[in-house]
C-alpha cells in the first residue's frame, strides 16, 4: 500500500529529496565557524601589528593559509544559507524571489572565489 496522494501519483514529481539538508548544513557550518572565528579573533589579537609584512608572512604560513581558506569558504557558505532564508521569508513574488536568490548565490560564489584566490596568492608568494 502506498501512502502517496492521488495528486502526487499523477504529478509524479516525488519529494524534493532534500529534507532537512539546508537546516543541517546551517548548523554544521555554524559549529565550524564558532571554532574558526575564535582562531581568527585570537590571531588578530596575537598579531599585534597589522602592517603589510607582518600580516602577509602570518597568512603565508601553511596552517594559517588552510585555516583562513576554511574560514572564508565556510563563512561565505553560512552567509549564503542565512541570506537565502531571509529572502525566502521576505520576498513574496515568486519570480523576484528566484532572481534575488540567484543573484545572492552568484555574489557569494564570487566572494568565495575572490577570497580563496587571494589567500592562495599570498601563500604562494606571487606578489611581495
Site string for other proteins, 10-39 (x = CB under 8 A): -----------------x--xx-xx--x--
For residue 1, what is the DSSP state?
Answer: -
Interface with other proteins (CB under 8 A), residue from 72, 73, 74, 100: 72
d(CA 38, CA 31): 11
Which of helix, strand or coil describes residue 49?
coil
Q: How many CB atoms lie within 10 A of CB 122?
A: 20
**50 belongs to the binding site for other proteins (CB under 8 A):** yes
Which residues contribute to the site for other proteins (CB under 8 A)? 27, 30-31, 33-34, 37, 41, 44-50, 52, 55-56, 59, 68, 72, 75-76, 79, 82-83, 86, 111, 114-115, 117-119, 121-122, 126-128
Amino acid at each position: 500500500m502506498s501512502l502517496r496522494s492521488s495528486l502526487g501519483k499523477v504529478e509524479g514529481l516525488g519529494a524534493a529529496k532534500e529534507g532537512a539538508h539546508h537546516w543541517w548544513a546551517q548548523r554544521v557550518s555554524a559549529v565550524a565557524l564558532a571554532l574558526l572565528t575564535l582562531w581568527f579573533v585570537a590571531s588578530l589579537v596575537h598579531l599585534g601589528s597589522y602592517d603589510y609584512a607582518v600580516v602577509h608572512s602570518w597568512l603565508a604560513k601553511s596552517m594559517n593559509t588552510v585555516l583562513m581558506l576554511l574560514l572564508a569558504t565556510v563563512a561565505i557558505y553560512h552567509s549564503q544559507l542565512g541570506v537565502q532564508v531571509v529572502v525566502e521569508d521576505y520576498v513574496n513574488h515568486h519570480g523576484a524571489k528566484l532572481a534575488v536568490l540567484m543573484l545572492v548565490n552568484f555574489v557569494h560564489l564570487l566572494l568565495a572565489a575572490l577570497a580563496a584566490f587571494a589567500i592562495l596568492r599570498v601563500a604562494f608568494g606571487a606578489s611581495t
